[in-house]
Chains A and B, each alone.
Chain A
Amino acid sequence: MDIKKYFDDITKEFIEELTKVKTYEELSVVRIKYLSKKGVVPMLMLKIKEVSDKKSFGEAYNKIKNFVELTLNEKQKVYETEKLKQELEKEKIDISLPGSSLKRGMMNPYYKIIREIEDIFVGMGYQVEDGPEVENDKFNFELLNIPSDHPARDMQDSLYIDSNILLRTHTSPVQARVMQKAKGKPIKVICPGKVYRRDDDDMTHSHQFGQVEGLVIDKNINMANLKATLELFIKSMFGEKREIRLRSSYFPFTEPSVEVDISCINCGGKGCSMCKNTGWIEILGAGMVNPKVLTMNGYDADEYSGFAFGIGIERVAMLRYGIDDIRRIYQNDIRFLSNFNKICED
């Protein structure tokens, strides 16, 4: 018996049958015919009894078996792919429908500014401190060189609980508290918080607003140190291009005292309505700590010196985002807050 021819005939027959296959089901019929237990290919093995060269027979058998299996598998894969494609098509969706997003909430700009300020100064090695909002007269005024009959008290009309206790009118009392705690050691702190004044609420005034107090004390601290620190802060907050300038001013707890202006955010210094054509915008107050304040709070004013500054949080927010009315910050209209969502994710 010519095994080779016999096997070739079967192969030819298989190929012929396969070419006639049109569907996955027909393919299954062919598979069963050739590869099932009693199928054409396994049955070939019975012929081994009839040949002498069993080795060659074995090789030829394996060859035809592998060929049939491989060919069927390939063909099956094609059908399967086709079938899956049809199923997936049934799951087709409208890709233009909105995404099922859970939107991120929006932060009131007040908090965003506090966080930014904190992060800038923490990066410069400052500690963030905290102090009480209900203060006594001693810390809010006296220890800051504002005795009870000082004319500077006219500047701050305060909300009193009783003759001695009031809502702090500035974050400066934390200066005194920090100094007393540090007991004559160097200090480098900022303190953000709410402060209160006896003001009617209008576009630019609010009976409640936020401040960030800064205080640095060490030997040999001077005004050039203050200027550099504020420059660094302003450039971090408002961009590299911002310049600062100092104007002489007065606060009882600093001497010299200065107002700090920044080159206008809107026009860059050329002059516009925002800066009233001056090219500059007032941004914060600062100065060298008054030696009397150092002495009252346990520092040797001949050995130590320091600087302090106070930043208005809403003021910064209003300039940064061009907010026209401070009351909007306390109104919390969601449509207002949504302005700050993008920057939040920066």
Chain B
Amino acid sequence: MLVSLNEIKKYVDISDLTPEDIANKLTFAGIEVENITHQAFGTNLVIGEVLSCQNHPESDHLHICKVDVKDEILDIVCGAPNVRKGLKVIVAKVGAKLPKIEIKQAMIKGMTSNGMLCSLLELGVDSKFLKEEQIKGIEELPIDAPVGEKDVLKYLGLDDTILDLSLLANRSDCYALENVAREIGALFNRKVNIPEVKNDATYTDNNFKVGSETVNCPSFAIKIVKGIEIKESPKWLKNVLNSMGIRSINNIVDLGNYIMLRTGRPLHIYDLDLIKNDLTVKDNLNLKFKALDSKEYQINEGDLVVTTNNEAVCLGGILGGKNSEVNASTKNIAIECAVFNHAQIRKTCSRLGVSSDSSLRFNKGVDENITDYVLNLTTNILKEISPIKEISNIISFNKIKPIDTKLIMKKDYINNRLGTDFDFEVIKDTLEKLSFKVDVDNDLVTVIPPSYRKDIKDKADLSEEVIRYLGLDHIKSSLPTMKTTVGKLHQFEDKKRIIEDYLLNRGLNEVLTYTLVSKKEIEESAIFTKNQPYEISNPIVEDHKFTRTMILPSIIKCAVYNYNHQQTNFGLFEISKLNILNKEAEEHLSLVLFGKQFKQDLLGFANYSYFDAKGILENILNFFNVQESRIKIERINEDNTYLHPYRSAKMFIDNKLFAYFGELHPLKAKELGINKESIVVLEADLSLLYKTKTKNNKFEPISIYPVSYRDYAFIADSTFEFGKLKTELKRTSHYIKDVHVFDIFSPINLDDKFKSIAIRVSIDGKDHTLKDSEITEVDTKIREALKNVMKVELRK
């Protein structure tokens, strides 16, 4: 909302205040002033008269002028095409500061110039308010302009300062200049004079009927004025509109806009001769409507339409109709002041994609109680700007019952809520300055807010009024005195932090990517998960249309971004909640290992592999004390083109799917533009892990008996699986503590599919030192198992 301070001055004396004072006070009281702008700007200006004007001998467009500015006669070189003898002009003297330049004495092609003749554009007036000739040439002042007048901006009506208010939803009352004046008056403790209006009806109209067939228009009133004349608006009216960002059209249209800016109530003005003898609001129509902007709109049921004899003449509160528009030949008018439901206005505006100053105000809610005031004010002013023959009474339909908001509170309520210690008299005085009625009855206080403060509905609202007026700096600091409580992280947050810290310490970077993804990522995720996404019905872009069901596609994108920015060896991970259709949200961990990792030897690097991802998972499971026996691992579908079919796996805890991991499929890598670097990925459902019940950590005594080791080497073919071997060997004797692989290689003399494998078995007696005979027995069982169950050939 743009507010002209010149207009405010008409209602409240602010002559001793700077615009900054006013802006600051308003801002702290909850009405933020975003910007202060001057309508035009210039120092050292004076009105002059061109005494003589000759062409510059050395230029085809410059003129040498002598300009009378009363105290002296100045030589000025001017390039404007319209400069001529006898013209009254705006002179910026040497030393003048204009928005873009400072005027200095200058030599222009050999001639001295002591100033500049100005256009309004050069004084900073927005070009949208100027005609073409005003932009091309210097301003031509009226012939009666007083030569020597130094307050040129005031003479021009361009001495206004504009505050740009950023209004929050509760203060829609400040979409009216009068209410802004009231607010400023209250904040600076000054009297506010809003002039009274007179009922200026010259006749009573008994023929015209108004009405509404919908609850969404509870009040509809008009006033008829006959014998008006459409013409240019007077200067004051043009200036007000210009300063508040509205273009002047003609006196009648301008008046409608002025009344809206001043009172906050939008008007609509019909050419009386283009409508019949009735105006009725309906909301059950389906039709095409041609509006003032010459566009055609589809009206549906629900939209509020003003009709005359069943023909639509106005889209209520939003746009007038082309068929009843005030035009150059209009003689008689009907001025409408109605109340349209804010929710319905918003609905229609958003469906049709239109909005106007009028719909904006209805949207926020208007003061319904001032209809008569507004209509009378309109005709009172109309009389000043147009000839008039007849003015009717107010013809109205009104179903609004006045609501008396009465708030009752205890005397100490406000101080208790704010933690302040104001005297009650100060509180009472404050509320009264803000135009609230305050009645005190012993300990109980009854407060009635003014009708335009529709936001005041509860006694808590009064506490805000008091403190925003007296200043929030009156609130002291004092910590709450509550029962002591133990602070706690969310139940899974501790667990999440353990995983985060482990991965960070392992050198992986923790990233943050978007929840919303495109269809492509959902399709990729569907390779792995049956979880379904939520689909956004009104997405901003197609790339952000679904809630992701896996993090992996996002984090791979992130890795590719970094690869394309010259990063070669790195790890990324993200832990995020996923929103899944018709299911509880899951928390997932996803990670990418890209390129090579640092190995222990000096300057040594090795490609990331399947085993790095597996190792990470095993470590995490170990933190959570999940026993190896509860974990199962399987190869994933060989047909998938996302992960390497033979270097990837899924992992289960208690037969529930926990994670996918492995090396990226070469085709997928190629698609991403990565040819050489190895990429290992993983996605795990941490919520499953969080919920898995595990044994508590308890101290287990360290065995005091020595552990024995036996090594075996054998040749195995490609069907051999270490996991199976381990299970089988452990089954042969309870003395077998663990089985490790310490060498795998392909001997040169053997076919590729055969490998030589060496294992070490640790044998532990637990409660006694194993005798040789016992060890031999275990050894025999191991050899038998290798030969008979695993079908491998022991090397000699």
Please report A residues at the B interface, Cβ cutoff 8 Å.
97-98, 100-108, 110-111, 115, 118, 121-130, 132-134, 148-152, 154-155, 159-162, 165, 167, 186, 188, 194, 196, 198-200, 207-208, 216, 218, 220-225, 227-229, 231-232, 245-250, 252, 255-258, 288, 290-292, 305, 329-335, 337, 344
Contacts and interface: CB of A to CB of B under 8 A. Distances in A.
Among B29, B534, B598, which residue has the most Cβ atoms of chain A within 10 A?
B534
A222 B481 CA distance: 11
A186 to B, nearest CB: 6
A249 B17 CA distance: 24
Contacts of B477: 224, 227-228, 231
B786 interface: no
Interface residues of B, number: 90
Given A123-B487, A161-B536, A151 B169 contact: yes
The 8 closest A-B pairs by CB, nearest first: A224-B419, A248-B30, A149-B343, A222-B419, A256-B464, A122-B487, A248-B468, A228-B477
A246 B607 CA distance: 56
A258 B472 contact: yes
B480 A229 contact: yes
B488 to A, nearest CB: 5
Contact of B169 (A152, A218, A329, A330): A152
B507 A103 contact: yes
A291 B461 CA distance: 10
A128 to B, nearest CB: 4
B630 interface: no
A246 B168 CA distance: 16
Among A98, A107, A160, which residue has the most Cβ atoms of chain B within 10 A?
A107
Contacts of A334: 509, 562, 567, 570
Contacts of B719: none
Interface stretch (B261-269, B538-546, B690-698, B743-751): B538-546
Interface in B563-612: 565, 567, 570-573, 577, 579, 585, 598, 600-603
Contacts of B507: 102-105
B417 A159 contact: no
Contacts, number: 243
A159 B473 CA distance: 38
B538 A160 contact: yes
A332 B572 contact: yes
B474 to A, nearest CB: 10
B508 A105 contact: yes
Among A216, A218, A224, which residue has the most Cβ atoms of chain B within 10 A?
A224
Contacts of A104: 504-505, 507
A84 B225 CA distance: 118
A255 B460 contact: yes
B760 interface: no
Contacts of B505: 104-105
Given A134-B547, A246-B473, 6 more contacts: A104-B505, A148-B343, A155-B169, A224-B476, A249-B30, A255-B458
Contacts of B562: 332-334
Given A128-B489, A223-B467, A250 B169 contact: yes
Interface in B515-555: 515-516, 534-540, 544, 547
A250 B171 contact: yes
Nearest to B487: A122
A251 to B, nearest CB: 9
Given A194-B515, A228-B477, A288 B468 contact: no
A92 B459 CA distance: 83
B417 A108 contact: no
B169 A225 contact: no
B365 A292 contact: no
Given A208-B515, A225-B478, A250 B30 contact: yes
Interface in B126-142: none
B342 interface: yes
B71 interface: no
A247 B30 contact: yes
B458 A332 contact: no
B579 A133 contact: yes
A134 to B, nearest CB: 5
A127 B485 contact: yes
B781 to A, nearest CB: 41
B420 A224 contact: yes
Interface of B: 27-30, 32, 168-172, 341-343, 346, 363-365, 416-420, 458-461, 463-464, 467-468, 472-473, 475-480, 482-490, 493, 497, 500, 503-516, 534-540, 544, 547, 558, 561-562, 565, 567, 570-573, 577, 579, 585, 598, 600-603
Contact of A247 (B28, B419, B510): B28
A217 to B, nearest CB: 10
A122 B489 contact: yes
B721 to A, nearest CB: 31
A228 B478 contact: yes
Contacts of B572: 332
A163 B509 CA distance: 39
Contacts of B473: 245-246
A98 B516 CA distance: 42
Nearest to B415: A222
A288 B364 CA distance: 24
Contacts of A249: 30, 168
17 contacts: A102-B598, A105-B504, A105-B506, A105-B507, A127-B487, A129-B490, A154-B169, A196-B515, A218-B482, A223-B467, A224-B418, A224-B478, A248-B28, A248-B468, A250-B169, A332-B513, A332-B572
Contacts of A115: 497
A126 B515 CA distance: 28
A250 B170 contact: yes
Nearest to A301: B460
Among B416, B473, B490, B572, which residue has the most Cβ atoms of chain A within 10 A?
B490
Contacts of B544: 207
A108 B169 CA distance: 35
A227 B511 contact: no
Among B458, B472, B483, which residue has the most Cβ atoms of chain A within 10 A?
B472
Contacts of B485: 125-127, 188
A127 B561 CA distance: 38
Contacts of A252: 169
A121 B479 CA distance: 13
Contacts of B565: 333, 335
A330 B488 contact: no
A252 B29 CA distance: 17
Given A105-B503, A159-B536, A207-B544, A232 B479 contact: yes
A207 B540 contact: yes
Contacts of B508: 105
Contacts of A224: 418-420, 475-478
Nearest to A130: B490
B483 A186 contact: yes
A225 B480 contact: yes
Among B346, B472, B480, which residue has the most Cβ atoms of chain A within 10 A?
B480
B225 to A, nearest CB: 33
Contacts of B567: 334-335
B417 A125 contact: no
Contact of B510 (A106, A151, A225, A330): A106
